[in-house]
């Protein structure tokens, strides 16, 4: 079908983990004829949870694109994960959506993932609707859930439909504005049950207050107690929703497809098309006949198809096999395999107009958040602000073959998921993989095996302790060896002195009278430098020291650079041991966003981690949150992401950065030394 921008709806389906987002998408796909039955998440047969990892976990971990075509519309649904470790997927989906459906479980009410998704959509400035699902279950409550929605998300959330029946008797919805009932899936209207009239009337008052809020004529008529015509209220519904003055709330049971058609009609009649929605970038050309451009919001690797790039058409019309320039690299890209997506199934498209969402295959150098544009254009779609990683772990390849493939495979993962980061620890050579939580990093390890056939182990990263000295120490070492012919001879006397923290290493030469010939002094310095990575306490790097060569002796025949280097290495070790060496540990600063009710628990926990609380700041978030500012040793915060979520009910998050190295308390240093002396199991 040929689609115009006016007939496109791009909608992110968001909410807490397990609220029923995927099942709602499945019900919408079933209602529009895209699938023949409603799949079940627990059975692993839904359209949008097609990744093997999702099916094994029974939860969404990726955003899936499900494109439906009812009534000459193209509804592009973005089914997002609700677990906090995969919040980057929600950020990317929000960046290209024009509206959001916030799914709330009727037996659980508003949860932390609901609040997070709500804030994202509100910051983006896109209209929202709330769908209260699973109203057929025991202990589900429309009234209690609606109260939770209005209390936490805001009074702009008003029921546009109210349920018919409760729990196992739930069988449909009543339109609050026109009083008509929609039983079952809601295709055909009927008269409402007599006992629902008063409930619908009460809900209608709250709805009208929101509709008239942005229409001056309707507001005046309302204040003067004039009767408002249904047609006028219906006409005011779309601007009220698109302005955010009204967030309609609808009841549903997705597993039975109850309440699905009222939602589809709401999408068709009130949600914005791409030309009415907030633009992806300033000065975007909205004319489908203009210069084409596209924004890649997601990249995945498929073992059969290869690289898949999910894109939103940012300008003009993109046609299959057209060529666009990568704005970051300047390279030409051929957009082969232009398709709409129904989960993993791709449906070839000849062209896509501005605002549409689709997929292309096998782009060579384009990665997530790249802009593709006509050569010579200056257009760039700014990428969304992604959350910074809060958990880091070491990645160890299991075999030599895995070692060779690890680097490129990790780079591919980061291309797909911008919330992952990789770095090489300079102190111990570990490959560090950072993400939004332990599950996020473990999932990445699973993807390395499944997609790239690289087997790895994930373990805690080693804390990069260092060593220094607190006093002046000195030692001399004689290296003498006779093996027949030329022997080996060198005597080196070194003095070790402490330097200020962070000053690093300095080498000094106080040789007079040629006790050590000038041509051997570089060998002494080299021997010292090569020994710095292995200190005297627990073999951690030695830092913030000045090493001075003050005496020595050579032999005209047997001395050599190698002999002086070996003597310097041993002399440094002995001198360091006499200079009261200590362990240093990395100290990091933490900025922890905490709900006010959890502040006491968080501060108490920080004290138990040898952290120092520096103060507090009020957060800009309209919810009751504060920032706790602290400094603490890295060793105590390796699993802080998981612990903080537990303390705050998933509402806490944090960022950190390295500050300095501080001395390790003696009782902790003793444990570090014992671990260093323990042989590694093989």
pLDDT per position as a tens digit, 391-405? 999 999 998 888 888
Distance CA 111, CA 650 (A): 9
Task: Tell whether domain 293-373 is in CATH 3.40.30.10.
Answer: no
**Polymer length of the chain:** 682
Distance CA 514, CA 519 (A): 10
Distance CA 440, CA 435 (A): 6
Residues of the chain with CATH 3.40.50.300: 5-270
Q: Is the pLDDT of residue 227 over 90?
A: no
Q: Which residues of 21-60 are buried (b: 16+ CB within 10 A; e: fewer)?
A: bbbbbbbbbbbbebbeebbebeeeebbbbebebbbebebb
Containing H/E element for 234?
Answer: helix 230-243
Strands 306-315 and 293-302: antiparallel
Q: Is the pLDDT of residue 682 over 50?
A: no
Task: State the Rg of the chain over Cα.
Answer: 32
Q: For a pLDDT cut of 70, what percent of the chain falls above it?
A: 98
Contact between 572 and 527 under an 8 Å Cβ cutoff? The reply is yes
Number of H helices, E strands in the chain: 16, 34
Band (pLDDT 50/70/90 cuts) for residue 532 is very high
Q: Is the pLDDT of residue 485 over 70?
A: no
Q: Is the pLDDT of residue 502 over 60?
A: yes
Band (pLDDT 50/70/90 cuts) for residue 559 is confident
Q: How many alpha carbons fall within 13 Å on the CB side of residue 172? A: 19
Q: Which two tokens stand for residue 47?
A: 């359209």
Residues of the chain with CATH 3.30.70.870: 391-459
Distance CA 90, CA 385 (A): 12
Q: Is the pLDDT of residue 512 over 90?
A: no
Contact between 326 and 295 under an 8 Å Cβ cutoff? The reply is no
Distance CA 354, CA 315 (A): 5
Least confident among 180-194, 376-390, 442-456, 497-511: 180-194
Query: What pLDDT is attached to residue 77?
Result: 97
Q: Identify which has the larger pLDDT, 3 or 168.
A: 168
Contact between 257 and 140 under an 8 Å Cβ cutoff? The reply is no
Strands 625-633 and 612-618: antiparallel
CA 279 to chain centre: 23
Distance CA 641, CA 334 (A): 41
CA 320 to chain centre: 32
Query: What pLDDT is attached to residue 630?
Result: 97
Q: Which two tokens stand for residue 86?
A: 């995969």
pLDDT per position as a tens digit, 354-400? 999 999 998 988 999 999 999 988 889 999 999 999 999 999 999 88
Distance CA 411, CA 393 (A): 16
Query: What pLDDT is attached to residue 567?
Result: 95
Query: What pLDDT is attached to residue 2?
Result: 64
List CB contacts of 634: < 8 A, sequence separation 6 or more: 463, 464, 585, 586, 587, 588
Band (pLDDT 50/70/90 cuts) for residue 33 is very high
* Residues forming a β-bridge with 299: 309
CA 611 to chain centre: 26
pLDDT per position as a tens digit, 432-459? 999 999 999 999 998 898 888 899 999 9
Distance CA 521, CA 150 (A): 77
Query: What pLDDT is attached to residue 619?
Result: 77
Query: What pLDDT is attached to residue 624?
Result: 63
Q: Which residue has the tokens 């628990």?
A: 601
- Interval 20-40 mean pLDDT: 93
Nearest to 97 by CA among 293, 268, 383, 297: 297
| Average pLDDT across the chain, whole number | 90
> Which of helix, strand or coil describes residue 340?
strand
**Beta-carbon count within 10 A of 382 CB:** 12
Q: List, in sequence order, every beta strand (DSSP E) within 335-390.
A: 339-342, 345-348, 351-353, 357-361, 371-373
Query: What pLDDT is attached to residue 681?
Result: 39
Question: Which phi and psi angles does 117 have, rounded to 5°?
Answer: -65, -40
Residues of the chain with CATH 3.30.70.240: 583-676
- DSSP, res 258: B
Distance CA 333, CA 550 (A): 64
Query: What pLDDT is attached to residue 286?
Result: 81
Q: Is the pLDDT of residue 188 over 90?
A: no
Which fold, 583-676? Answer: Alpha-Beta Plaits (3.30.70)
Least confident among 202-211, 469-478, 526-535: 202-211
CA 467 to chain centre: 35
- Interval 546-561 mean pLDDT: 91
CATH code for the domain defined by 391-459: 3.30.70.870
- Interval 612-636 mean pLDDT: 86
CA 23 to chain centre: 23
Query: What pLDDT is attached to residue 220?
Result: 87
Contact between 246 and 158 under an 8 Å Cβ cutoff? The reply is yes
Query: What pLDDT is attached to residue 175?
Result: 92
Question: Which phi and psi angles does 657 have, rounded to 5°?
Answer: -155, 150
Band (pLDDT 50/70/90 cuts) for residue 415 is confident
Q: Which residues of 535-555 are buried (b: 16+ CB within 10 A; e: fewer)?
A: bbbbebbbbbbbbbbbbbebe
CA 388 to chain centre: 7
Q: Which residue has the tokens 């097609």?
A: 50
Q: List, in sequence order, every beta strand (DSSP E) within 208-356.
A: 247-251, 293-302, 306-315, 317-319, 323-326, 332-334, 339-342, 345-348, 351-353
Contact between 169 and 182 under an 8 Å Cβ cutoff? The reply is no
pLDDT per position as a tens digit, 64-77? 999 999 988 999 99
The architecture that CATH gives domain 467-579 is 2-Layer Sandwich (3.30)
Q: Which residues of 324-349 are buried (b: 16+ CB within 10 A; e: fewer)?
A: bbbbeeeeebebebbbbbbbbebeeb
CA 567 to chain centre: 52
Query: What pLDDT is attached to residue 520?
Result: 93
Which fold, 5-270? Answer: Rossmann fold (3.40.50)
> Which of helix, strand or coil describes residue 574?
helix
CA 548 to chain centre: 49
CA 550 to chain centre: 55
Distance CA 569, CA 575 (A): 10
pLDDT per position as a tens digit, 287-337? 888 899 999 999 988 767 778 999 999 999 999 888 999 999 889 999 988
Containing H/E element for 125?
Answer: none
Q: Is the pLDDT of residue 223 over 90?
A: no
pLDDT per position as a tens digit, 161-171? 999 999 999 99
């Amino acid at each position: 079908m040929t689609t115009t921008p006016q007939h496109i709806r791009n909608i992110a389906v968001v909410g807490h983990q397990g609220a029923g987002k995927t099942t709602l998408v499945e019900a919408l796909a079933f209602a529009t004829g895209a699938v023949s039955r409603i799949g079940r998440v627990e059975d692993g047969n839904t359209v949008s949870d097609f990744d093997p990892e999702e099916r094994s976990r029974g939860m969404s971990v990726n955003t899936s694109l499900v494109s439906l075509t009812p009534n000459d519309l193209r509804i592009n649904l973005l089914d997002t994960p609700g677990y906090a470790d995969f919040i980057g997927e929600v950020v990317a989906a929000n960046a290209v959506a024009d509206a959001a459906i916030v799914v709330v479980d009727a037996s659980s009410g508003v949860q932390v993932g609901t609040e997070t998704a709500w804030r994202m959509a509100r910051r983006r400035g896109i209209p929202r609707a709330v769908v209260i699902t699973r109203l057929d279950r025991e202990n589900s409550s429309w009234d209690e859930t609606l109260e939770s929605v209005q209390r936490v998300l805001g009074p702009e959330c008003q029921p546009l439909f109210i349920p018919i029946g409760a729990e196992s008797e739930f069988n449909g919805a009543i339109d609050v504005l026109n009083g008509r009932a929609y039983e079952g899936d809601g295709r055909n209207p009927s008269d409402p049950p007599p006992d629902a009239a008063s409930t619908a009337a009460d809900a209608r008052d709250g709805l009208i207050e929101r509709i008239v809020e942005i229409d001056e004529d309707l507001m005046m008529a309302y204040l003067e107690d004039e009767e408002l015509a249904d047609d006028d209220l219906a006409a005011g519904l779309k601007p009220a929703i698109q302005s955010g003055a009204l967030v309609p709330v609808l009841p549903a049971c997705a597993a039975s497809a109850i309440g699905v058609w009222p939602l589809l009609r709401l999408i068709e009649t009130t949600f914005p098309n791409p030309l009415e929605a907030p633009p992806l970038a300033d000065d975007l050309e909205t004319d489908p006949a203009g210069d084409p451009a596209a924004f890649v919001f997601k990249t995945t690797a498929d073992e059969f198809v290869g690289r898949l790039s999910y894109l939103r058409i940012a300008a003009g019309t993109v046609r299959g096999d057209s060529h666009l320039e990568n704005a970051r690299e300047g390279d030409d890209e051929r957009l082969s395999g232009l398709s709409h997506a129904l989960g993993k199934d791709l449906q070839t498209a000849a062209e896509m107009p501005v605002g549409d969402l689709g997929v292309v295959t096998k782009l060579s150098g384009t990665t997530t958040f790249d802009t593709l544009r006509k050569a010579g254009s200056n257009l760039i779609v700014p990428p969304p602000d992604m959350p910074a990683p809060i958990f880091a772990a070491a990645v160890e390849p299991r075999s030599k073959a895995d070692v060779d493939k690890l680097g490129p495979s990790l780079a591919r993962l980061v291309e797909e998921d911008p919330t992952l980061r990789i770095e090489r620890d300079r102190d111990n050579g570990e490959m560090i993989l950072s993400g939004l939580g332990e599950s996020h990093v473990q999932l990445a390890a699973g993807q390395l095996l499944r997609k790239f056939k690289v087997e790895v182990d994930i373990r805690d990263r080693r804390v990069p302790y260092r060593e220094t000295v607190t006093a002046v120490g000195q030692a001399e070492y004689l290296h003498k060896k006779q093996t027949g012919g030329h022997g080996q001879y060198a005597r080196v006397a070194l003095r070790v002195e402490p330097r200020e923290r962070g000053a690093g290493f300095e080498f000094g030469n106080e040789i007079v009278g040629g006790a050590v010939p000038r041509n051997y002094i570089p060998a002494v310095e080299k021997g010292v430098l090569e020994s710095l990575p292995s200190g005297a306490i627990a073999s951690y790097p030695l830092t913030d020291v000045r090493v001075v060569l003050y005496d020595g002796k050579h032999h005209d025949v047997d001395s050599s650079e190698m002999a002086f280097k070996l003597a310097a290495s041993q002399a440094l070790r002995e001198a360091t041991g006499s200079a009261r060496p200590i362990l240093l540990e990395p100290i990091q600063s933490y900025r922890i966003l905490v709900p006010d009710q959890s502040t006491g628990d968080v501060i108490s926990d920080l004290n138990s981690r040898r952290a120092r609380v520096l103060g507090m700041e009020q957060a800009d978030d309209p919810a009751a949150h504060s920032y706790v500012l602290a400094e603490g040793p890295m060793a105590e915060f390796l699993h802080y992401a998981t612990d903080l979520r537990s303390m705050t009910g998933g509402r806490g998050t944090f960022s950190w950065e390295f500050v300095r190295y501080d001395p390790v308390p003696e009782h902790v240093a003793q444990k570090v030394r014992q671990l260093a002396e323990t042989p590694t199991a093989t």
